[in-house]
Structure 1
Amino acid sequence: MIKFFRKIRQRLVVENKFSKYLLYALGEIILVVIGILIALQINNQNELRKDHNSKLKIIEYLILDLEKDIHHFKVDGIRNQKSIDFINNFLQSGAIENSSDFISLIDERYKLYPNNSKYKSITSTNQIDLLDEVTLSKLTTYYEYDYIRLNARVKDSDNITIKIEEFIVNELPKHPTTNNDENFNAEVNTVLARDEVYNLFIMSSNYRKDLNELMKSTQKKAEQLVIELNQITKD
């Protein structure tokens, strides 16, 4: 195309048709400008497509992290509820049937294992600009507030569990070879009947209940975030 216009331009110069030469020269400039604009448009579209694909990939990893949280909240909530039930049964009856199982459950400590690697990644790089302000605000609230609050409650519950561990080590008889050892169960029940132990278990039950409620509310927020992030991928 350029060679074609060059030949025409050369012929017009030779024939001394200056006005037509200017017209063709202007036409060439317009074509070049149009070509540049088209190239820029294509480049912009490519960049937008890259950003969109990057955004979808980020959302995919964020959803994976949130789904891991949801799974852990469910599993840990069930396990924590078993401990609460064992403690409450003891507080109501004043005795336990199976000391080994009881001790194992009340001695169980909950650990928060944050699944926030992708969130940390996008907030430390320019990838954060790919997310809209509303979505980013909700993610920030979840990871910077809900996570911290849940972790603080975990530590409170953990402190009580540490005291129970110290009590188990120092006060309770050693575990028998079988869970159905009547003498062992009787000895344990005698120790557990003390007021300071009773109060310790009340505190443990209350902290575990609070922790479970907070895990449930945090789980709901994670589930809602998954719904909203999935919706973004469909828009």
Structure 2
Amino acid sequence: MIKFFRHIRQNLLMENKTGKYFKYAIGEIILVVIGILIALQINNWNATRIEKEKEQSYINELINDVRKDASAIDELLVASNNQLKAKYKLQRYLKEHTDLTFYLSDFSIYPEYIRKETYDSDSLMYYYRMQWQNRKRFTPITTTIDEMKSTGKIGIIIDKKLRRTIIETYNSYDDFLTSNQDRYLETQKELLKFVIDEIPELYQINNSNITEIFQNQRVLNRLEANFVSTLNRGLLDLKQLNQNLLNELKKFQK
């Protein structure tokens, strides 16, 4: 093709057709420019296609991660709900059958569905032991978001609302881990150590004399301040955030 154009130019010059030569040269330049523009456009289309494919890949991977997180949160909520119910039942029994002094004069801190629970006086020791037996951790799946951050690909998510929802959700995960879960696990650890140190005969105590444990006001205080209510609310918030993110991601899944 290049030889063909060169041959035309040489013929025009040899025939001394300067005007036609310049017109031809201009036309050739225009064709070259058009060719370059077309090539650039093709490259842009390819780059855009690759970016969209990568965006879709990240969205699919995030959906898988978020679903796994949802299962983990649900599992933790089951344990947290059981522990919260046990705490409520024990406190309710103590309030109704002793003259112990509680920080809380009512049970408004408990959600309504918990306050509908009734206690079994034969299960008081079980309720008490439940206060330090829930030690599971929430460990979110961050493989995809970590890769996006490390490679600077957060911006590959074109929709601003979706991108903001992703960032805010994972930031909320981090906040829960550091300011909620860690504090809860620490209070559980402290309660267990306190119980072992203060009540060495714990496993010899039965339901009929469990109230003797709480004559020690510090034991009662540790029960009230075991942070399970806050953990439970935090998990419920995470569940909602997780579901919101999943719903947004699905809107852009192809």
SS of equivalent residue, structure 1 residue 113: coil
Q: Given residue 209 of structure 1, which amino acid in structure 2 is its aligned partner?
A: S
Contact 1:90 1:96 in 2 (8 A): no
Q: Work out whether 1:124 is the aligned partner of 2:146.
A: no
1:81 aligned partner: 81
Contact 1:107 1:164 in 2 (8 A): no
SS of equivalent residue, structure 1 residue 97: helix
2:210 aligned partner: 189
Question: TM-score, normalised on structure 1?
Answer: 0.80
2:101 aligned partner: none
What 5-or-longer segments of structure 1 have no aligned partner? 176-182
Among 220, 234, 237, the residue aligned to 1:198: 220
SS of equivalent residue, structure 1 residue 109: coil
Q: Work out whether 1:135 is the aligned partner of 2:155.
A: no
Distance, in Å, in 1 between the alignment partners of 2:69 and 2:166 is 13
Distance, in Å, in 2 between the alignment partners of 1:156 and 1:124 is 29
Distance, in Å, in 2 between the alignment partners of 1:186 and 1:228 is 50
Output the aligned Cα RMSD. Answer: 2.8
Deviation at 1:75, TM superposition (A): 0.6
Q: Given residue 222 of structure 1, which amino acid in structure 2 is its aligned partner?
A: N
SS of equivalent residue, structure 1 residue 42: helix
Contact 2:135 2:185 in 1 (8 A): yes
Q: Given residue 159 of structure 1, which amino acid in structure 2 is its aligned partner?
A: E
2:99 aligned partner: none
Deviation at 1:216, TM superposition (A): 0.9
Contact 1:97 1:185 in 2 (8 A): no
Deviation at 1:96, TM superposition (A): 4.2
Deviation at 1:63, TM superposition (A): 2.4
How many residues are aligned here? 225
Distance, in Å, in 1 between the alignment partners of 2:205 and 2:39 is 83
SS of equivalent residue, structure 2 residue 59: helix
Contact 2:123 2:207 in 1 (8 A): no
Contact 1:96 1:102 in 2 (8 A): no
1:5 aligned partner: 5
Distance, in Å, in 2 between the alignment partners of 1:174 and 1:212 is 27
Identify if the C-alpha distance between structure 1 residues 88 and 195 changes in structure 2 by more than 3 Å, giving closer, same or farther: farther
Q: Work out whether 1:17 is the aligned partner of 2:39.
A: no
SS of equivalent residue, structure 1 residue 210: helix
Q: Percent identity of the aligned residues? A: 27
Q: Work out whether 1:148 is the aligned partner of 2:178.
A: no
Contact 1:80 1:208 in 2 (8 A): yes
Moved more, 222-231 or 15-24: 15-24
Contact 1:173 1:187 in 2 (8 A): no
